[in-house]
Amino acid sequence: MRITNKSISNNFLVDMQRNLQNLNKVQQQMSSMKNFSKPSDDPLNVERSMQMQTSLNATDQYYSNITSALSSMETTDTTLGQLGTVLTNVRTDLVKAGDAGYTQDERDKVNDEVKQYAAQFAQILNTNLGGEYIFGGTQGLSKPVTTTTDANGNVSIEYADAKGNVVDSIPEVVSSGFNIDNWSNKTIKFTMENPEDPSNPTEVNVNTLDTSDGKETVDDIVKDLNNKIQKSDLKDSVSVVKTNDGNIKFLAVNSSDDIKISTDISDMSKVNGKQLSNVDMANIGADKTIEVSQGVVLDYNATASSVMQYGENHNNAINDDNVKALMNRIQHHLAGQVLDMDSGSDTYTEGAEKVVDSTGEVKYYKWKDDKDAATKELTGQDLTDIDAASKGLLKVRSQIGAKEKRMEALQDQNKSSKLNIQETLSETEDIDLTQKTIEYSTMITVYQACLQTAAKVMQPTLMNYLS
């Protein structure tokens, strides 16, 4: 095979071009400090880098979520301490007012303080952090509670909807230990107020799915019930939802709707004849959740309802085990009044208190003057209840503390995970500067040698020009 000057020249040019390309690549790597600038440089590591970058972004978001939750929990802990101080002050006033030597005028002065404490308690429950009310549940953009004042100046703490209107605290109607076999071909009866004939309420029966084939799920039942409700007189009045723990919850859409539910479903046996809670109350009492790592969702808040409720009795009655009812009782007892249990009536009259018994029956009772009985209540049941409310508050605070501790542990874990990802990402993307410097020097030497060799081997002669 004849090797011509032209072929030698072409080979030199190809080699020099290759050397220049390699040299340029190393120069780019050294200037950017990255192993690659486009996917074609290293497809495998580019893909790996993109995956790690996605993980890093997710880790940053999880860290932001945790930080936000921790900030909220720190504020919650502080405000719970303030609420505890309010209850302690009320207890101190009760002890003072329980003195047999106290005149009614002196008790009236104490009552003025208690009214201020009730208003203060509501104000603290409406603590706002970053535009959200920390005790508002999923209704965090509006105040969870408000206060009302009756004709006698008594201050009442009330739950509030998004518009600030008062909503009732009624137990949620939720299935217990959902079992799909219990829901097959059952009848759910709703009783709702009839505006045209108040004495004759409207009854609506809704039948559940046939689940005997075992193919249906709780989601299927919820969807079917909502479809049937929307086709009945209950349209836009009742909502059925699936809870986080897999049960079924019934809610009144509007707080003003007076709707009761009865059913022979064993999962719902405890709610026969009960009035539905409403969507606003459900939101106020709902847990706020965040994702702290892939697939891990945690709640981090305390709700106004969890803070207010300290016992099992929560039938929206004056004798409820919640701070609202307790503050109401204390103010009346300080005024020398007790509930007249002989005044029960089905019809509301001004100043009467609504009492809902365990069966859902509503009665209205009046207050009567009885200073001795009122004093006995102040030094007896009221003190017991204020201690129970304080204990309930401590329980909520300890739960927040436990959640906060877990969040802090997750935050540390998140930091460690981020460092590991960054280290691996750096190993994948970043160059070894020392190695590249040596490589660059070597390439410069090779390139210069190539030029020098080409200059000696390819010296032109007269024959080159003649040919």
CA angle 228, 282, 187 (to 5 degrees): 30
Q: Cα(320)–Cα(435) distance, rounded to whole angstroms?
A: 76
* CA quadruple 89, 310, 366, 150: dihedral sign: positive
Q: What pLDDT is recorded for position 146? A: 93
pLDDT in tens, 104-145: 999 999 999 999 999 999 999 999 998 999 999 988 889 999
Q: Which helix (H) or strand (E) holds 226?
A: helix 218-230
Q: What pLDDT is recorded for position 271? A: 79
Q: What is the mean pLDDT of the chain?
A: 84
DSSP tag of 204: E
Residue whose entry in the numeric block shows the structure tokens 């590991």? 420
* CA quadruple 311, 314, 319, 324: dihedral sign: positive
DSSP tag of 267: G
Q: Strands, DSSP E only, in 226-287?
A: 238-242, 248-252, 259-263, 274-275
Q: What pLDDT is recorded for position 399? A: 95
Residue whose entry in the numeric block shows the structure tokens 């790690």? 52
pTM as predicted: 0.73
Of 332, 291, 415, 338, give the one whose Cα is nearest residue 151.
Answer: 332
The CATH class of 59-170+301-398 is mainly alpha
Q: What pLDDT is recorded for position 208? A: 93
Q: What pLDDT is recorded for position 460? A: 60
pLDDT < 70: residue spans in the chain: 1-6, 8, 26-27, 29-33, 35-43, 45-46, 169-171, 256, 313-319, 356-361, 426, 428-433, 454-455, 457-467
283-313 burial code (b ≥16 CB/10 A, e <16): bbbbebebebbeeeebebbbbbbbbbbbeee
pLDDT in tens, 140-174: 889 999 999 988 899 999 998 888 888 876 667 88
Q: Cα(250)–Cα(269) distance, rounded to whole angstroms?
A: 14
Q: What pLDDT is recorded for position 429? A: 66
How is 46-112 classified by DSSP, letter by letter?
HHHHHHHHHHHHHHHHHHHHHHHHHHHHHHHHHHHHHHHHHHHHHHHHHHHHT-TT--HHHHHHHHH
Q: Cα(426)–Cα(444) distance, rounded to whole angstroms?
A: 27
Question: Please, are residues 151 and 177 in contact by the beta-carbon 8 Å criterion?
Answer: no
Domain with CATH 1.20.1330.10 in the chain: 59-170+301-398
